[in-house]
């Protein structure tokens, strides 16, 4: 065996040491949230803090001006922490916290300050799979024009058009990775001509410019208010917009989570009624069991935004096909309207759409929308898929619903959108309450007559579809009309969903539930063609 | 009667299968079980590939080892001990190509100066490691520093070179089962990684050649990178 002290070994030890030393600065420069106990500075000038539109919104919606969340983070606290910390990164009025980097010794000293409530690490910086960026982008096809018309028709958007509802008077803040070429794209010229883009800010680059980086926001904005050949791609063509860049396109870093929070506070100051966020954070920073709306700072901030009267709409995530599977933050927050995706070809959950519930059992997603949409790309139009696009389609719907009901609060609109879902009152963890329907939210929908009935046989609980809803067939057995989806769920006695699914009702046959599979106290809930009915198992079958 | 009922049930079940197409079925209790397996869960296993260079250290003034390469493919198991500490083992197949350059005729490996002299070693390698993670994170690998110890068992060894003939013709010579390379060895290694990617360094603790070969030492240090597939 060689001597342990020969030259190459020493060199190797040196290399080890260098590796270790290169790791240490990472620890030394770790970022932390430092939360404060109180806000001693009570001076607050609402007219100075809010933009005129933001001030007007607070007054119009009877929201408080200058409550605890609006008060600034104490500059004295920040100063004392910064005397011990290495660098300052961000502050949040809503969370009453600042983000700093500090070594472990300094951190102990900071934690010992009498006004510090707690310290949480900002989760690690790393290259990551982007939750909402794994989009397959197709070339323009013949079917695109069909999809273009269908994506608004699926929400009965023609009813809003008939009622002249286009989101006018509503301000929507869009948070994304950037809006490349949106300022020169023909899809948005109507917005720029009437000055509908009221403010922009790049929270990554600390710069007002948002049109030179990141394409995802251009695509999302298209599903909100874009126009293709005079045909609207989203429902909110009359709304005003605040555009914020809060995320990098390819490198996901922790900075983005608090840039989202900073953008939410900015949106509040500038009078946003709705936040449409097609972003999400998952396994890079969190575990599934932490998706309860209380762990992720972004989820806590989203709930605070809702308490400020803002309707926060966020994508459920595209995680169904991988190990994460479930909702991403801030979609886990209970006051966030979380939007899943459906396949326009089947009207059932699209393969990638994240499923609920949140870790604390909060029912998620709240609603769904098309997970494949026709939209604008930086240099063209095309079709893209992801819950990223279901979200702005829903945000456009929300703008019209709020325009029609200006006296309602954000949470009233939240529940109106839920109850306007095409499946409502049926709910499951893939489809939520279904796709929002304009006629339902405006109270114009007719009550649906029963479309099926339950029948208990010796071996099965049968769901028999009424004859008029069975699709007709020609002599060769080919369907003459599209069969409807039958949604079912089995709910345990404690109210939790045990099982659910979708059946394509294409034949004149019942849908069977084995009696052996049903327990006393459970409930079978079925939705078919606008009609929902339950069957309660009141005896051992 | 029982048989008849069974047949009826089976017929009904077949009828269900024929009648309607189930396009989604979720069993919430079984589909939502918290996993013990994951990048930052109790257990994690994944395959990896490593590429590297044996450092060109002139251990003898008369020899050089330019462009000597290392490659491996294997599987890694990680056992999480806490947010910051984990341990585990690796098992891999690896290959080393030690390129040799003599500045004049020398006795190693033979007394002739050849072109593109290469010593190849193929081995089965196993290691045990301790990993320190830098920061709290979610269900991801994150940044880490790793120290390990490992051993290898040779599965093949070759000595090959090219010999110029008349004109432009070249004769390629390959001597299989080359016996002067040590058939087992052990090493220390370290890694500095972020998620799938790691920079690796390895130090061989025994000489490359058998003790009584009289040959100079081949480069003991390998520097490279590793890519995990997960």
Map A480-536 to HEC letters: CCCCEEEEEEEECCCCCEEEEEEEEECCCCCEEEEHHHCCCCCEEEEEECCEEEEEE
Q: Which residue from B minimizes the CA distance to A325? A: B32
Q: What is the pLDDT of residue A492?
A: 93
Option in B39, B190, B197 nearest A19 (CB):
B190
What CA–CA distance (Å, rounded) separates A539 from A520? 5
* Cα Rg, chain A, nearest whole Å: 26
Neighbours of A20 (CB within 10 A): 14
CB–CB contact A20 B145 (8 Å): yes
Q: A316 to chain B nearest CA, in Å? A: 16
- Across B126-130, average pLDDT: 97
Q: Which residues of chain A neighbour B25 with C-beta distances below 8 Å?
A: 499-501
Q: Which residues of A161-193 are buried (b: 16+ CB within 10 A; e: fewer)?
A: beeebbbeebbbbbbbbbbbbbbebebbebbee
Strands A171-176 and A311-315: unpaired
CA dihedral of A325, A330, A335, A339, whole degrees rounded to 10: -50
CB A63, CB A309: distance < 8 Å: yes
What CA–CA distance (Å, rounded) separates A365 from A338? 5
CB-based burial label for A509 (10 Å; 0-12, 13-18, 19+)? middle
Number of residues in chain A: 541
What CA–CA distance (Å, rounded) separates A280 from A291? 11
List A314's β-bridge partners, or say none: A277, A338
- Across A214-234, average pLDDT: 94
CB–CB contact A124 B134 (8 Å): yes
Q: Give the model's confidence band at A28: pLDDT under 50 very low, under 70 low, under 90 confident, else very high.
A: very low
Q: Give the model's confidence band at A121: pLDDT under 50 very low, under 70 low, under 90 confident, else very high.
A: confident
Q: B206 to chain A nearest CA, in Å? A: 5
**How many contacts (CB atoms, under 8 Å) link A and B?**
161
Q: Give the model's confidence band at B60: pLDDT under 50 very low, under 70 low, under 90 confident, else very high.
A: low
Q: What is the pLDDT of residue A16?
A: 59
Per-residue model confidence as pLDDT tens digits over A324-344: 889 999 999 999 999 999 999
Q: Give the model's confidence band at B7: pLDDT under 50 very low, under 70 low, under 90 confident, else very high.
A: very low
- Across A221-227, average pLDDT: 97
Per-residue model confidence as pLDDT tens digits over A29-43: 578 899 999 999 888
Identify the residue among B24, B38, B55, B225 best suited for mutation to test binding to A, counting A beta carbons within 10 A and taking the highest: B24
What CA–CA distance (Å, rounded) separates A271 from A51? 7
Sheet holding A497-505, edge to edge: A531-536, A523-528, A484-491, A497-505, B21-27
What CA–CA distance (Å, rounded) separates A517 from A509? 20
What CA–CA distance (Å, rounded) separates A312 from A310? 6
Indicate the helix (H) or strand (E) that contains B125: strand B115-133
Q: Mean pLDDT, chain B, as a whole number?
A: 83
Extract the runs of DSSP E, i.e. beta strands, from A23-67: 31-36
- Across B157-166, average pLDDT: 87
Q: What is the pLDDT of residue A404?
A: 97
Option in A126, A496, A506 nearest B194 (CB):
A126
Q: What is the pLDDT of residue A138?
A: 46
In 3-state terms, what secondary structure has residue B99? strand
Q: Give the model's confidence band at A137: pLDDT under 50 very low, under 70 low, under 90 confident, else very high.
A: very low
- Across A360-383, average pLDDT: 93
Q: What is the pLDDT of residue A59?
A: 92
Option in A288, A348, A496 nearest B23 (CB):
A348
In 3-state terms, what secondary structure has residue A217? helix
- Residue bearing the bigger pLDDT, A347 or B8: A347
Neighbours of A276 (CB within 10 A): 32
Q: Which residues of chain A neighbour B135 with C-beta distances below 8 Å?
A: 26-27, 30, 121, 123-124
List B94's β-bridge partners, or say none: B72, B123
What CA–CA distance (Å, rounded) separates B57 from B219? 6
Fill in the DSSP letter of residue B114: -
Q: Extract the tokens encoding B24.
A: 């989604």
Q: What is the pLDDT of residue B94?
A: 97
Q: B163 to chain A nearest CA, in Å? A: 33
Q: B109 to chain A nearest CA, in Å? A: 21
Domain covering A452-536 in this structure, CATH number: 2.60.40
- Across B168-185, average pLDDT: 89
Q: In the block, which residue shows the tokens 């069977």?
A: A512
Option in A126, A355, A504 nearest B21 (CB):
A504
Range of weakest confidence among A29-33, A85-89, B85-89: A29-33
- Across A506-522, average pLDDT: 88
Option in B35, B134, B138 nearest A286 (CB):
B138
* Whether the predicted pLDDT of B203 surpasses 60: yes
Q: Which residues of A375-398 are buried (b: 16+ CB within 10 A; e: fewer)?
A: bbbbeebbbbbbbbbbbbbbbbbb
3-state DSSP helix/strand/coil % of chain A, to nearest 5? 30, 25, 45
* Whether the predicted pLDDT of B8 surpasses 50: no
Residue-range domain boundaries for chain B: 37-229
Q: Which residues of chain B neighbour A364 with C-beta distances below 8 Å?
A: none
Q: What is the pLDDT of residue A20?
A: 57
Identify the residue among A1, A8, A351 best suited for mutation to test binding to B, counting B beta carbons within 10 A and taking the highest: A8
Q: What is the pLDDT of residue A455?
A: 92
* CB within 8 Å of chain A, chain B residues 133-192: 134-140, 142-143, 145, 147, 188, 190, 192
Which of A187, A172, A171 is CA-nearest to residue A232? Answer: A187
- Across B140-166, average pLDDT: 91
Which of A158, A189, A218 is CA-nearest to residue A397? Answer: A158
Q: In the block, which residue shows the tokens 């990638």?
A: A352
Q: Which residue from A minimizes the CA distance to B13? A: A512
Q: What is the pLDDT of residue B9?
A: 45
Per-residue model confidence as pLDDT tens digits over A410-419: 999 999 999 9
Task: Return the CATH class of domain A25-121.
Answer: alpha beta
Q: Give the model's confidence band at A142: pLDDT under 50 very low, under 70 low, under 90 confident, else very high.
A: low
What CA–CA distance (Å, rounded) separates A295 from A289? 10
Range of weakest confidence among A277-291, A477-491, B52-66, B145-159: B52-66
CB B200, CB B189: distance < 8 Å: yes
Q: Which residues of chain A neighbour B197 with C-beta distances below 8 Å?
A: 127
Number of H helices, E strands in chain A: 14, 23
CB–CB contact B9 A459 (8 Å): yes
Q: Give the model's confidence band at A252: pLDDT under 50 very low, under 70 low, under 90 confident, else very high.
A: low
A62 Cβ contact partners less than 8 Å away, ≥ 6 residues apart: none
CB B164, CB B170: distance < 8 Å: yes
CB A428, CB A532: distance < 8 Å: no
Whole-number Cα distances in Å, A29 to A16, A87, B39: 21, 8, 24
Q: What is the pLDDT of residue A21?
A: 54
A74 Cβ contact partners less than 8 Å away, ≥ 6 residues apart: A36, A38, A39, A40, A41, A115
- Across A76-80, average pLDDT: 95
* Whether the predicted pLDDT of B1 surpasses 80: no
* CB within 8 Å of chain A, chain B residues 197-216: 197, 199, 201, 203, 205-207
Highest mean pLDDT among A345-349, B23-27, B150-154, B178-182: B150-154
* Whether the predicted pLDDT of A504 surpasses 60: yes
Q: Give the model's confidence band at A407: pLDDT under 50 very low, under 70 low, under 90 confident, else very high.
A: very high
- Report the complex ipTM: 0.79
- Residue bearing the bigger pLDDT, A138 or A157: A157
- Across A525-537, average pLDDT: 95
Fill in the DSSP letter of residue A185: -
Q: Which residues of chain A neighbour B38 with C-beta distances below 8 Å?
A: 283, 323
Q: Which residues of chain A neighbour B34 with C-beta distances below 8 Å?
A: 288-289
Q: In the block, which residue shows the tokens 């000293």?
A: A109
Q: What is the pLDDT of residue B33?
A: 57
CB–CB contact B221 A12 (8 Å): yes
Sheet holding A116-121, edge to edge: A87-92, A97-101, A31-36, A116-121
CA dihedral of B108, B111, B115, B119, whole degrees rounded to 10: -30
Q: Mean pLDDT, chain A, as a whole number?
A: 88
Pick among 3.40.50, 2.40.160, 1.20.272, 2.60.40: CATH of B37-229: 2.40.160
Q: Which residues of chain A neighbour B205 with C-beta distances below 8 Å?
A: 1-2
CB–CB contact A19 B199 (8 Å): yes
3-state DSSP helix/strand/coil % of chain B, to nearest 5? 10, 55, 30
Q: What is the pLDDT of residue B13?
A: 45
Question: For chain B, what percent of residues have pLDDT higher than 90?
Answer: 42
Q: What is the pLDDT of residue A128?
A: 37
Q: CATH homologous superfamily of domain A137-441?
A: Peptidase S8/S53 domain (3.40.50.200)
CB-based burial label for A369 (10 Å; 0-12, 13-18, 19+)? buried
Q: Extract the tokens encoding B14.
A: 């077949």
Q: Give the model's confidence band at A190: pLDDT under 50 very low, under 70 low, under 90 confident, else very high.
A: very high
Which of A304, A325, A392 is CA-nearest to residue A95? Answer: A304
Residue-range domain boundaries for chain A: 25-121, 137-441, 452-536
Crossing angle (nearest 10°) for helices A387-404 and A410-419: 110
Q: Which residues of chain B neighbour A459 with C-beta distances below 8 Å?
A: 8-9, 12
Q: In the block, which residue shows the tokens 């917009």?
A: A241
Q: Give the model's confidence band at A25: pLDDT under 50 very low, under 70 low, under 90 confident, else very high.
A: very low
Q: A295 to chain B nearest CA, in Å? A: 11
- Residue bearing the bigger pLDDT, A113 or B220: A113
Identify the residue among B131, B137, B146 best suited for mutation to test binding to A, counting A beta carbons within 10 A and taking the highest: B137
Q: What is the pLDDT of residue A133?
A: 40
What CA–CA distance (Å, rounded) separates A145 from A499? 37
Option in B24, B138, B206 nearest A123 (CB):
B138
Neighbours of A487 (CB within 10 A): 24
Q: Which residues of chain A neighbour B196 with C-beta distances below 8 Å?
A: 127
Q: Which residues of chain B neighbour A285 with C-beta distances below 8 Å?
A: 137-138, 140
CB A125, CB A258: distance < 8 Å: no
Option in B142, B143, B205 nearest A1 (CB):
B205
Q: B129 to chain A nearest CA, in Å? A: 14
Q: Which residues of B19-51 are buried (b: 16+ CB within 10 A; e: fewer)?
A: bbeebbebebeeebeeeeebbbeeebeeebebe
Question: For chain A, what percent of residues have pLDDT higher than 90?
Answer: 66
CA dihedral of A86, A286, A258, A71, whole degrees rounded to 10: -100
Q: What is the pLDDT of residue A14?
A: 60
CB–CB contact A512 B12 (8 Å): yes
Q: Does B40 touch chain A (CB under 8 A)?
A: yes
């Amino acid at each position: 065996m060689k001597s342990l002290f020969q030259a190459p070994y020493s060199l190797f030890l040196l290399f080890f040491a260098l590796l270790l030393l290169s790791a240490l600065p990472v620890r030394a420069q770790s970022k932390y949230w430092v939360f404060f106990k109180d806000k001693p500075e009570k001076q607050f000038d609402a007219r100075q803090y809010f933009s005129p539109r933001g001030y007007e919104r607070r007054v119009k919606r009877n929201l408080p001006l200058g409550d605890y969340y609006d008060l600034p983070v104490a500059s004295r606290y920040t100063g004392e922490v910064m005397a011990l910390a290495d660098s300052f990164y961000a502050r949040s009025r809503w969370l009453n916290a600042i983000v700093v980097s500090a070594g472990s010794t300094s951190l102990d000293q900071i934690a010992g300050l009498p006004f510090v409530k707690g310290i949480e690490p900002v989760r690690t910086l790393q290259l990551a799979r982007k939750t909402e960026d794994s989009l397959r982008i197709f070339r323009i096809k013949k079917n695109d024009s069909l999809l273009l018309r269908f994506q608004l028709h699926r929400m009965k958007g023609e009813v809003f058009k008939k009622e002249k509802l286009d989101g006018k008077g509503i301000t929507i803040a869009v948070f994304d990775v950037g809006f490349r070429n949106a300022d020169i794209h023909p899809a948005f010229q109507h917005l720029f001509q009437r000055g509908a883009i009221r403010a922009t800010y790049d929270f990554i680059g600390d710069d007002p410019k948002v049109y030179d980086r990141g394409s995802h926001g251009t695509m999302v904005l298209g599903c909100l208010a874009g126009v293709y050949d005079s045909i609207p791609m989203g429902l909110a063509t009359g709304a005003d917009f605040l555009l914020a860049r809060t995320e990098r396109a390819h490198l996901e870093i922790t900075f983005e989570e608090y840039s989202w929070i900073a953008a939410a506070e900015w949106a509040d100051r500038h009078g946003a009624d709705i936040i449409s966020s097609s972003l999400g954070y998952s396994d890079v920073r969190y575990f599934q069991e932490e998706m309860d709306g209380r762990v992720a700072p972004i989820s806590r901030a989203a709930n605070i935004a809702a308490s400020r009267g803002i309707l926060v709409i966020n994508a459920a995530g595209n995680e169904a096909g991988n190990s994460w599977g479930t909702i991403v933050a801030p979609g886990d927050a209970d006051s966030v309207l979380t939007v899943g995706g459906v396949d326009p070809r089947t009207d059932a959950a699209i393969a990638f759409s994240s499923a609920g519930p949140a870790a604390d059992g909060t029912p998620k997603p709240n609603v769904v929308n098309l997970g494949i949409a026709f939209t604008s790309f930086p240099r063209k139009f095309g079709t893209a898929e992801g819950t990223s696009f279901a979200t702005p389609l829903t945000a456009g719907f929300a703008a019209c619903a709020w325009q029609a009901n200006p006296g309602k609060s954000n949470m009233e609109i939240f529940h109106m959108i839920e109850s306007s879902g095409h499946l409502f009152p049926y709910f499951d963890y893939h489809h939520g309450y279904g796709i929002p329907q304009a006629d339902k939210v405006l109270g114009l929908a007719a009550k649906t007559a029963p479309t099926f009935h339950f029948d208990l046989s010796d071996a099965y609980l049968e769901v028999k579809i009424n004859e008029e809803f069975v699709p007709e067939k020609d002599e060769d057995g080919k369907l003459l009309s599209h069969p409807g989806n039958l949604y079912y769920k089995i709910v345990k006695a404690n109210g939790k969903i045990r099982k659910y699914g979708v059946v394509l009702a294409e034949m004149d046959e019942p849908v069977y539930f084995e009696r052996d599979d049903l327990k006393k106290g459970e409930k079978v809930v079925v939705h078919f063609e606008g009609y929902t009915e339950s069957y309660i198992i009141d005896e051992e079958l | 009667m029982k048989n008849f009922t069974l047949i009826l049930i089976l017929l009904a079940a077949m009828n269900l299968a024929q009648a309607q197409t189930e396009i989604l079925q979720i069993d919430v209790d079984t589909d939502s079980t918290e996993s013990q397996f994951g990048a930052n869960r109790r257990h994690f296993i994944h395959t990896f590939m490593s590429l590297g260079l044996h450092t060109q250290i002139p251990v003898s003034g008369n020899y050089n080892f330019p462009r000597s390469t290392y490659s491996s493919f294997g599987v890694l198991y990680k056992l999480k001990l806490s947010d910051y500490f984990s341990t585990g083992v690796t098992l891999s197949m690896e290959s080393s190509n030690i390129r040799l350059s003599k500045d004049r005729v020398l006795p190693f490996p033979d007394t002739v100066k050849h072109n593109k002299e290469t010593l190849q070693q193929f081995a089965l390698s196993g290691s045990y490691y301790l990993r320190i993670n830098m920061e709290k994170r979610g269900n991801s690998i994150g940044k880490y520093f790793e120290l390990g110890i490992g051993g290898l068992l040779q599965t093949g060894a070759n000595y090959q070179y090219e010999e110029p003939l008349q004109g432009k013709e070249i004769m390629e010579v390959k001597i299989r089962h080359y016996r002067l390379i040590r058939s087992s060895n052990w090493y220390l290694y370290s890694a500095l990684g972020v998620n799938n990617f790691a920079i690796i360094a390895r130090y061989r603790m025994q000489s490359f050649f058998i003790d009584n070969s009289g040959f100079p030492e081949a480069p003991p240090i390998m520097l490279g990178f590793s890519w995990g597939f997960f």
